[in-house]
Structure 1
Amino acid sequence: MHSSPSAEPDPQRWRALWVCLIAGFMTLLDVSIVNVALPSMEHGIGATPADVSWVVSGYALTFGLALVPSGRLGDDYGRRRMFLLGLALFVAASVLCGAAPNATWLVVARLGQGVAGGLLNPQIIGLMQQLFSGRERGKAFGAFGATVGLSTAIGPVLGGLLIQGIGVDQGWRWVFYVNLPIGILAILFGLRLLPKDARSGRKRTPDLVGSVLLGVAVVLVMLPLIEEEEQATAPRWWLMGVAAGLLVLFVLWERWLGNRGKQPLVNLKLLTVRSYSMGSALGMVYFAGFTGIFLVLTLFFQQGLGYTALQAGAAMLAFAIGSAISPTIGGRLVHRFGRPMVVLGTLLVAIGLAATAWLVREYSGANTAFVLAGPLFVGGFGSGLVISPNSTLALEEVPPAEGGTAAGVLQTGQRIGSAVGTALGGSLFFGELGRSHGDYHSATALGLIGSTALVVLALLFGVVDVLLSRTRKRRSTTQSAPPAAVSGSVSGLAPAETASVSLTSLETHEVRRTTTGADNTFALDAPAGTYLLLVQAGGREPVARHVQVGAEPVREDVGLARSVRLTGTVHAIRGPFPGAQVAVLDAKGQVQRVTVTDEAGHYTVDDLFPGEYTVVVTGYQPVAEPVQLTTEGPARFDPLLRLVSADKA
């Protein structure tokens, strides 16, 4: 039998996290680093504008289509196994990309690299959820968020350095070869540090038919857009009609699978949750808008203004810096302001892109990169207020049992949006470039206007969602509603501190949430049924209760206990003992915390809750003593270790 989730945490979990972060950094780096290498690819192997679009958008497309099936493969066959497989395939595909003798080889290898990245990414998230819980999980995901921002900012500059150092003809190859040493190190450390896979139960068959239908439909949407870039033949716009028919077949197929209790690629029932459907639509359209700017601006800086790859990468740093600063702010404020904050972020992006488009068209003086830095920073700052907060709000009302699938579908929509948006941006750019006989200013401005239009469409989705939410709240307040089904008070909070309260239906899994008011009380409406009431506040042990809601209101008063600290010094006969392992077990014998004494023999264990524990110290002969923790203040336990031989004597 394998251990329960509450068993002793993996002692190598933080080292394993570094393996996950390195792999995540590598796959995300390949999104941003390639953009500055596109002109080098055109020069080195004669890639056409259509080839360039496929290199960027093809990766996003296959990456997105692989996400949901890969998440289920990790659940069924083991996350460690799928992580290492995805990592090995990603490295192999990177080598094939770097060794490409022609553009067709490069595009096919890039599509394979996207599949490998889509296989790898869900395992990273799954391993982090498996290895960490509570506050540690928050820290782990915070580190992953920082990795995302770092890879976005470093990618263009690193790509520019490689191309400038190695040369325009061959430098683009090292944009892919750089993954080889990183990937090999990650595989070696992953074999050693990642937790072994436990045996799983029934294997679920991935929805390959749904993946093919959706993938072909998106490709048929992209094809005429990419053909427009070539301007060699008339674009086959009728393919979009075929794509619409395939999308209808995809919806019918997904519904058929869902009605028979099987595992569809997209659970269509999720789209009945308004916040999720609106958030998914906003995310897909927004990603279609803002991702296209990187292709257009890269070509503008390098081919239009004659910048080197390094200069072009540095010129786009303003957007990356803005998008790295604001997510922390958005994460703190999203639950206070909700969708209006996402609307504000989308508005900032639209303003930033529109201003960039205007300046590109009208300004032809020196130091263009510095002139564009301001509006690009505004756009990047707004982007950070959109992406993560929108995902948080979209998943907020999704039943917990569907959370993983919903998140995967949300990311798939974003990747498909990225693929279509990049193709659209390239189509507008190269089309205008041909019509204007090489006017890069007008071509870039048109591409940016197209991106701005898509961002404005995403903005409209956000505004509609806000208006619908306010209309629903207004209707609920004007009706003579009965008293709240569940109400109560929360004791143990500090002045001005609030607690989050959630009420989850055990029949429908629908979640209702609120926070305590100034008087530390809460109230939630709910129909009759059985619920799980969960009350949480920072630094306190959560309280969960079963609640039966009937015709009469239910009162539940909750007391939250503050977490306490256990400290001490481990001594041996000769004095303080460094390097001793201190484990804290709860009343059930399950390990809650593990630490090691420092050079002075001191140890500190935080985030324990009042109750009875057993402290086990190992160094020489193990020592185990009961400890009673209370809310009155930090507890202290100073054990004495003895040599085994001395005890036997």
Structure 2
Amino acid sequence: MTVPTLSHGQKTLAVLTLVIALVLEIVDLTIVNTALPAIQADYAASPQTSEWVAAGYALAFAMCLMLGGRLGDALGYRRMFVIGVAGFTLASVLCGVAGSGTQLVVARILQGVTGAMMAPQSLALMQILFDPLERVHKMALFGVIGGLAAIAGPILGGVLIHADLFGLGWRMIFLVNAPVGLIAMLMGLRFLPELRSPHGGGLDLAGTALFALATAALVWPLIAMEHSGAGPLELGSLLGAVVLYAVGWRHVKRRSGEGRSVLFAPDLFTVPTFRLGLSIAASFALATGGFLLIFAFALQRERGLSPLQTGLLHMPFSLGVMLGIGSIGRRLLPRYGRWVLVAGALMMAVSGGTLLLAIGLTPWPLMALLPLVALAGMGMGMASGSVGPVTVAHVDRAHAGAASGLLKTGQQLGTALGVALIGGGYFASPHLTGLSGVLGATLLLVPVLLVCAVLAVRLPSRLFGEGANRQT
């Protein structure tokens, strides 16, 4: 792929454009949690409707990420970015004017679909515009801003609802996206280069449908099991997901062998850094998704903290994440490579496991827990901030969109699995094994993080620089 020569200023404006879209995506994911009680009261909606306001977005987002990445390769990354932002902005307005709970759920699903068109283009363009070492620094910036956006989401939601601007109440948390989305669209058209993969070709509609259905069959029961447990329907759906993924993989392999267009190139999985990096990303997302759920829940259930106190105790964790991504990982990854991932996973295993046990099984005062909270966040930041640039380090730029879609899909699936598996361990352990909930969750969390460390050790010793960069 021919990469355009851009000045430092042009690259900076391109990154700023992608950052605005990142903030739009992350804030909208977290801001809605603050508004759910007000939404339920306004519509007199059932708890299931309120749950699907959040879950509908997550499900649609996960289902369509691979398609979004592939469309970027085929139709152009800037074009799909602008289309995704435009659709996301329109869906946000539809959320803000929804006349019923059902309309709001439908609009949230549309947000998830269009968000999945937008999100992979950011990582794809970062991969194309920057060399592997440059990516480490730029993606560290993404991590820091993403962490700040995640913190700001619930706070902004509370402020907007309390302010009740124009008497719109909770609707402003969605309508505020309109001017931000418009700015992102205009900047995308002005500052992002027009690029597409030379292997773009057509679309594999059958493969797209197979993998979307497989993802839905996996994510839906995991969401449902958070509230209703695992019944025959949920377990059957999980089994069906495995079958659909297997059929989808055979389909892609066959079409690739025939030289036809595919959802993703199977050869991506022959690249050691991509194969291992994707496994680490999914496993680490599993661990962190479960940990964050149990951390918040145990503080309230075991220690009797209020939601506000629980939110405040997340601040040192978030600061640790930003330090791990923006300073430690960014500086050490080019020099020490895989060992940054190993250290991050082990740090989170030790500090995160100890933290959960201390919350539920010891009388330690909350102030004594703060160092563990910060260390767990730092370990998460070191690993999560490093896994993205490592995973795509040796991927051909011509497959940037598909690789980005696969990476984000793996992380989404890992998070859903973590909530179900580690969350299930917390809630089920007292009944099934007689162990305390935090002990049951910790016995699941720590081995997953150890698996991440073992996988990271298997990465090549040289990840970046001359001799390691096999991009074309």
Alignment TM-score, normalising by the size of structure 2: 0.79
Mapped to 2, the partners of 1:117 and 1:324 lie a distance apart of: 24
Identify the residue that residue 354 of structure 2 maps to in structure 1. 355
Mapped to 1, the partners of 2:306 and 2:48 lie a distance apart of: 22
Distance 1:9 1:268, change over 3 A: same
Q: What is the Cα deviation at residue 413 of structure 1?
A: 1.0
Mapped to 2, the partners of 1:128 and 1:266 lie a distance apart of: 19
Q: What is the Cα deviation at residue 386 of structure 1?
A: 0.9
Mapped to 1, the partners of 2:77 and 2:395 lie a distance apart of: 24
Identify the residue that residue 201 of structure 2 maps to in structure 1. 204
Q: What is the Cα deviation at residue 207 of structure 1?
A: 3.2
Contact in 2 for aligned 1:345/1:383 (Cα 8 Å):
yes
- Residue in structure 2 matching 1:108, options 95, 106, 109: 106
Query: What code does the residue aligned with 2:117 have?
Result: L
Distance 1:196 1:463, change over 3 A: closer
Mapped to 2, the partners of 1:301 and 1:228 lie a distance apart of: 22
Contact in 2 for aligned 1:287/1:417 (Cα 8 Å):
yes
Mapped to 2, the partners of 1:199 and 1:281 lie a distance apart of: 27
Identify the residue that residue 88 of structure 2 maps to in structure 1. 90
Is residue 388 from structure 1 mapped to residue 385 from structure 2 by the alignment?
yes
Mapped to 1, the partners of 2:301 and 2:160 lie a distance apart of: 18
Q: Where in structure 2 are the equivalents of 1:489-504 lying within 5 Å? A: 500-502=465-467
Q: What is the Cα deviation at residue 417 of structure 1?
A: 1.6
Q: Where in structure 2 are the equivalents of 1:33-112 lying within 5 Å? A: 33-38=31-36, 41=39, 45=43, 54-56=52-54, 58-100=56-98, 103-112=101-110
The gaps in structure 2 that reach 5 residues or longer are: none
Identity %: 32
Identify the residue that residue 459 of structure 1 maps to in structure 2. 450
Q: What is the Cα deviation at residue 27 of structure 1?
A: 1.0
Contact in 2 for aligned 1:321/1:380 (Cα 8 Å):
yes
Identify the residue that residue 419 of structure 1 maps to in structure 2. 416
Q: What is the Cα deviation at residue 325 of structure 1?
A: 0.3
Q: What is the Cα deviation at residue 381 of structure 1?
A: 0.5
Distance 1:204 1:373, change over 3 A: farther
Distance 1:294 1:140, change over 3 A: closer
Q: Which moved more, 1:451-460 or 1:8-17?
A: 8-17
Q: Where in structure 2 are the equivalents of 1:574-585 lying within 5 Å? A: none
Mapped to 2, the partners of 1:468 and 1:70 lie a distance apart of: 28
Q: What is the Cα deviation at residue 341 of structure 1?
A: 2.8
Distance 1:170 1:64, change over 3 A: same
- Give deviations 1:223-258, integer Å, cap 9, x for gaps: 444444444994532322222221221121121122
Contact in 1 for aligned 2:136/2:386 (Cα 8 Å):
no
Query: What code does the residue aligned with 1:115 have?
Result: V
Identify the residue that residue 121 of structure 2 maps to in structure 1. 123
Q: What is the Cα deviation at residue 423 of structure 1?
A: 4.5
Identify the residue that residue 28 of structure 1 maps to in structure 2. 26
Mapped to 2, the partners of 1:300 and 1:48 lie a distance apart of: 26
Contact in 2 for aligned 1:157/1:313 (Cα 8 Å):
no
- Residue in structure 2 matching 1:218, options 215, 218, 242: 215
Contact in 1 for aligned 2:124/2:404 (Cα 8 Å):
no
Query: What code does the residue aligned with 1:343 have?
Result: V
Identify the residue that residue 337 of structure 2 maps to in structure 1. 338
Mapped to 2, the partners of 1:198 and 1:100 lie a distance apart of: 36
Mapped to 1, the partners of 2:50 and 2:445 lie a distance apart of: 21
Contact in 2 for aligned 1:88/1:183 (Cα 8 Å):
yes
Identify the residue that residue 329 of structure 1 maps to in structure 2. 328
Query: What code does the residue aligned with 1:389 have?
Result: S
Distance 1:59 1:289, change over 3 A: farther
Mapped to 2, the partners of 1:10 and 1:393 lie a distance apart of: 23
Query: What code does the residue aligned with 2:331 have?
Result: R
Mapped to 2, the partners of 1:138 and 1:348 lie a distance apart of: 21
SS in structure 2 opposite 1:501?
Answer: coil
SS in structure 2 opposite 1:263?
Answer: coil
Contact in 2 for aligned 1:56/1:422 (Cα 8 Å):
no
Contact in 1 for aligned 2:351/2:373 (Cα 8 Å):
yes
Q: What is the Cα deviation at residue 287 of structure 1?
A: 0.6
Identify the residue that residue 408 of structure 1 maps to in structure 2. 405
SS in structure 1 opposite 2:238?
Answer: helix
SS in structure 2 opposite 1:95?
Answer: helix
Query: What code does the residue aligned with 1:316 have?
Result: H
- Give deviations 1:376-401, integer Å, cap 9, x for gaps: 32221101111232333334454565
Distance 1:285 1:254, change over 3 A: same
- Give deviations 1:307-332, integer Å, cap 9, x for gaps: 35x55433322221111001231232
Mapped to 1, the partners of 2:51 and 2:94 lie a distance apart of: 18
Mapped to 2, the partners of 1:431 and 1:144 lie a distance apart of: 37
Identify the residue that residue 604 of structure 1 maps to in structure 2. none
SS in structure 1 opposite 2:261?
Answer: coil
Number of equivalenced pairs: 465
Query: What code does the residue aligned with 1:116 have?
Result: T
Identify the residue that residue 490 of structure 1 maps to in structure 2. none
Distance 1:82 1:322, change over 3 A: same
Distance 1:299 1:98, change over 3 A: farther
Query: What code does the residue aligned with 1:456 have?
Result: P
Query: What code does the residue aligned with 1:281 have?
Result: S
Contact in 1 for aligned 2:73/2:199 (Cα 8 Å):
no
Mapped to 1, the partners of 2:192 and 2:18 lie a distance apart of: 12
- Give deviations 1:510-565, integer Å, cap 9, x for gaps: x8xxxxxxxxxxxxxxxxxxxx9xxxxxxxxxxxxxxxxxxxxxxxxxxxxxxxxx
Mapped to 1, the partners of 2:38 and 2:299 lie a distance apart of: 13
Q: Where in structure 2 are the equivalents of 1:160-559 lying within 5 Å? A: 160-166=158-164, 172-191=170-189, 193-194=190-191, 197=194, 204-231=201-228, 234-236=231-233, 237-297=235-295, 305=304, 307=306, 311-327=309-325, 328-362=327-361, 370=367, 372-398=369-395, 402=399, 405-424=402-421, 446=437, 449-450=440-441, 453-454=444-445, 456-463=447-454, 466=457, 500-502=465-467
Contact in 1 for aligned 2:290/2:445 (Cα 8 Å):
no
Mapped to 1, the partners of 2:254 and 2:417 lie a distance apart of: 27
- Give deviations 1:51-75, integer Å, cap 9, x for gaps: 5665445434433443343234334
Contact in 1 for aligned 2:92/2:177 (Cα 8 Å):
yes
Greater strand fraction, Structure 1 or Structure 2: 1
Contact in 2 for aligned 1:84/1:190 (Cα 8 Å):
yes
- Give deviations 1:168-196, integer Å, cap 9, x for gaps: x98654433332232233334545x3357
Query: What code does the residue aligned with 2:347 have?
Result: L
Mapped to 1, the partners of 2:137 and 2:323 lie a distance apart of: 17
CA radius of gyration, larger in: 1
Mapped to 1, the partners of 2:8 and 2:459 lie a distance apart of: 46
Which structure's relative contact order is higher, taking Cα pairs within 8 Å and 6+ residues apart?
Answer: 2
SS in structure 1 opposite 2:467?
Answer: strand
Q: Which moved more, 1:39-48 or 1:348-357?
A: 39-48
Mapped to 2, the partners of 1:139 and 1:285 lie a distance apart of: 23
Distance 1:449 1:85, change over 3 A: farther
CA RMSD, 1 decimal: 4.4
SS in structure 2 opposite 1:329?
Answer: helix
The gaps in structure 1 that reach 5 residues or longer are: 437-441, 474-498, 512-531, 533-649
Contact in 1 for aligned 2:127/2:397 (Cα 8 Å):
no
Distance 1:173 1:196, change over 3 A: same
Mapped to 1, the partners of 2:242 and 2:82 lie a distance apart of: 37
Greater helix fraction, Structure 1 or Structure 2: 2
Mapped to 2, the partners of 1:133 and 1:335 lie a distance apart of: 12
Q: Which moved more, 1:78-87 or 1:112-121?
A: 78-87
